[in-house]
Amino acid sequence: MEQVDKEKIEKIQADRKKSHAYLYEKSPVYRTFVEMEQKTFVDGSLQRVNKELIAIGISIVSNCESCLEWHIKQALDAGATNDQILEAIEVAFEMGIGPTTVASRFALKVLEYHLENPSKR
Amino acid sequence: MEQVDKEKIEKIQADRKKSHAYLYEKSPVYRTFVEMEQKTFVDGSLQRVNKELIAIGISIVSNCESCLEWHIKQALDAGATNDQILEAIEVAFEMGIGPTTVASRFALKVLEYHLENPSKR
Amino acid sequence: MEQVDKEKIEKIQADRKKSHAYLYEKSPVYRTFVEMEQKTFVDGSLQRVNKELIAIGISIVSNCESCLEWHIKQALDAGATNDQILEAIEVAFEMGIGPTTVASRFALKVLEYHLENPSKR
Amino acid sequence: MEQVDKEKIEKIQADRKKSHAYLYEKSPVYRTFVEMEQKTFVDGSLQRVNKELIAIGISIVSNCESCLEWHIKQALDAGATNDQILEAIEVAFEMGIGPTTVASRFALKVLEYHLENPSKR
Amino acid sequence: MEQVDKEKIEKIQADRKKSHAYLYEKSPVYRTFVEMEQKTFVDGSLQRVNKELIAIGISIVSNCESCLEWHIKQALDAGATNDQILEAIEVAFEMGIGPTTVASRFALKVLEYHLENPSKR
Amino acid sequence: MEQVDKEKIEKIQADRKKSHAYLYEKSPVYRTFVEMEQKTFVDGSLQRVNKELIAIGISIVSNCESCLEWHIKQALDAGATNDQILEAIEVAFEMGIGPTTVASRFALKVLEYHLENPSKR
């Protein structure tokens, strides 16, 4: 891979490690978040690997590069394959549109309303 | 159209009118926003109708129902047709996916990185 | 469950059905989106049920009620259990914070910068 | 323009080209998205240039730099002027506030409610 | 205030109470979130009232009505005045635009780039 | 601090200054936004320092690095301490989750609905 991309990924890793140490020491709220994270990604009714794939899908939609770096690593460690990760990304593609189609429903109603009630414009 | 939808639209109109009056009186920041709005939606290099169609596209992506109610009305008043509004909505559908494909590029790099550097996982 | 909640859910179902029929007829972009959706939620390297759980997680983070209505139904049909759906929601809780901790890393650097460079403030 | 900015823009172009080729080969969902994109940005009831200006407005609000890079290029190719693109951006400025004023309406109602019902606090 | 608005607010209160009880029993992740919340909104270097005002500003930008219902109540209980809450909302108005002006900076660079490099279009 | 981080911060500062000058000259909408900004961050019922802390919280949730750079500087100039800024960030952590718990309430109702109405799936 290109050197510049490798450096970007390793800067994200280094930054996360450093700020994690700082926040873990200084912030009781952050420490509780870390505890919450640990309780989330355990095998339960869903296996950890499937939880990590959910986290990858959410990271794509949230456009969170550092989250992607972390959860792709975790997913691979939990046994996810390349193709499974790609399919999680495909779900995120599809879900990018979802909310726009929902909003369009209301737009269509508004359009109908104003065509039926021209005097109220 | 269904009565319940008509009522929802008219509640949005009434709420906007009422809170506009309140904020316009109480908030200098809001008053300046109103001035900014007036300076935005005038005929310029772009005609007002095309500005309203941009606003409709943004309203879909921002999932802002009240914005849709307002800007669809304005677009119709400025001469937009039904089909033009539908095509603005189509642009918004397409743009819902856009950012997910951009985020996926970084995901693919991370995947490549961790497959090339298994010891760093 | 409360009648008002039941009615809300059934209104979402009816609205989706109606606008789907309209958009499917009128919009070639929407028809291609539907095709894209069908290609997404098939058994592949990931089983459909796990794709639906990813979609539930994303729907929570995107705050898309209609998406939740659809994908929870699909997940149940694909064999998801109550507890699995709850765990997908837990992943979404955790991922709500994720991006804020990433943004906070930059905030901490800015803070350090301005404390080290008071003359540049 | 500064060299660093030129390099950033050209990195975005190169990354898009590379990941497009990869996803186009590997992902049927992505291929259908590309088809959807092609059906969106054609002359219809709206001319392509106006669709590209809508896409620019949405890209600003979605904070999608790669989308901006693509759609500004497309808009220029379709005949948009500098000033028209600037006015599309102005619409996006205005629309950044829109949803906050809508949310504030509910905030004002809540405020009124709790002042009228102090015992329910 | 209008009856329909009062009912909406009280439905939000009832829904929150009910789902809180359910999630608190069923979800260890949610329980840790509640603990995190309790650690956040205490008097510290910042007084609780100022933390609640930050939460109101964020709720506006996140368009979270239930968050607004909760944090406005908490802010009032902590001693916030009507005018202070209105000024927190004004900050949120202004911050709605902020990210669009940042994205526009990149748009302007892209525009400059493509005007300087017409052959690359 | 690392040189690369220092350079990133100073590039943000330089970019802001440059595009501010350009937009201030060219865009009446932008000029009105600047006026709106000036009316927002004055001492009022809330002191400026507390408004800047709200802006920091919103910047974290909006993931706006340039906003963070600006408002942290402003907060320090207005007398905020390191610890107060950290506590504003903690509020943003907590508020990242808020909307996901609200969306989960609807998810739980949908789940209940489909378990009670299996024939409607």
Rounded Cα gap, residues B40 and B65, in angstroms: 20
Q: Token match 């690359």: residue?
A: E120
Which residues of chain D lie closer than 8 angstroms to A93, CB-CB?
Answer: 29-30, 33
Backbone φ, ψ for residue D13 (5° rounding):
-60, -45
Comparing alpha-carbon positions, the chain D residue that sits nearest to C28 is D39
Mutate to test the interface with C, among E8, E24, E27, E39 (most CBs of C within 10 A): E27
Q: Tell me the average pLDDT of chain F.
A: 96
> pLDDT for E48-80, tens place per residue?
999 999 999 999 999 999 999 999 999 999 999
The ipTM is 0.95
CA distance B1 to chain E (A): 21
Q: Give the confidence band of C7 by pLDDT, cuts at 50, 70, 90.
A: very high
Give how far F38 is from chain A: nearest CA, Å: 31
> CA geometry: angle at A29 spanning E37 and A37, to 5°?
90
- Residues of chain B with pLDDT below 70 are 120-121
- Identify the band that residue C26 occupies on the pLDDT scale cut at 50, 70 and 90: very high
Alpha-carbon gap: A29 to the closest alpha carbon of chain F (Å): 6
User: Tokens 């109606």 label which residue?
Assistant: C18
How close C83 comes to chain B (CA, Å)? 28
Q: State the best of A31, A32, A40, A54 to mutate against chain E, taking most chain E CBs within 10 Å.
A: A32
* Structure confidence by residue, pLDDT tens digits, D37-75: 999 999 999 999 999 999 999 999 999 999 999 999 999
Mean model confidence pLDDT for chain E: 96
pLDDT value of position B119? 74
Cα A69 from Cα C39, distance rounded (Å): 26
Label residue C121 by pLDDT band (50, 70, 90).
low
Best residue of C90, C97, C104 to probe chain E, by most E CBs closer than 10 Å = C90
* SS3 state of residue C16: helix
pTM over 0.95: yes
Q: Residue B114 has which token pair?
A: 């961790």
Q: How far apart, in whole angstroms, are the C-alpha atoms of residue F46 and residue F36?
A: 17
Does C35 lie at the interface with D, CB-CB under 8 angstroms?
yes
Delineate the domains of chain E, giving CATH numbers in brackets: 3-95 (1.20.1290.10)
Report the gap between the CA of F34 and the closest CA in chain B (Å). Answer: 10
* E114: pLDDT strictly greater than 90: yes
pLDDT in tens, A76-107: 999 999 999 999 999 999 999 999 999 999 99
**CB of A104 less than 8 A from some CB of F:** no
What is the model's pLDDT at position F26?
A: 97
Tokens at residue D90, please?
Answer: 């102005």
Which residue from D45, A107, A102 is spatially nearest to B73, judged by alpha carbons?
A107
By C-alpha distance, which of F31, B85, F52 is closest to E54?
A: F52
Q: For A4-115, where are the E strands, in sequence order?
A: none
Chains near D with 3+ CB pairs less than 8 A apart are A, B, C, E, F
Structure confidence at residue D118 (pLDDT): 81
CB atoms within 10 A of CB C10: 14
pLDDT score of A121: 64
Q: Residues 71..90 of B with a Cβ closer than 8 Å to D: which? A: 81, 83-84, 86-88, 90
Q: How far apart are CA C39 and CA C52, in angstroms?
A: 13
CB-based contact, D30 to chain A, within 8 Å: yes
Instruction: List the subunits that have 3+ CB pairs under 8 angstroms with E.
Output: A, B, C, D, F
Q: Does residue E76 sit in helix, strand or coil?
A: helix
Report CA torsion sign: A37, A39, A42, A45.
negative
The 8-class DSSP code of residue E40 comes to: H
Closest C-alpha to F50, from F23, F75, F72: F75
- Is C103 within 8 Å of F1 when comparing Cβ atoms? no
How many alpha carbons fall within 13 Å on the CB side of residue C88? Answer: 33
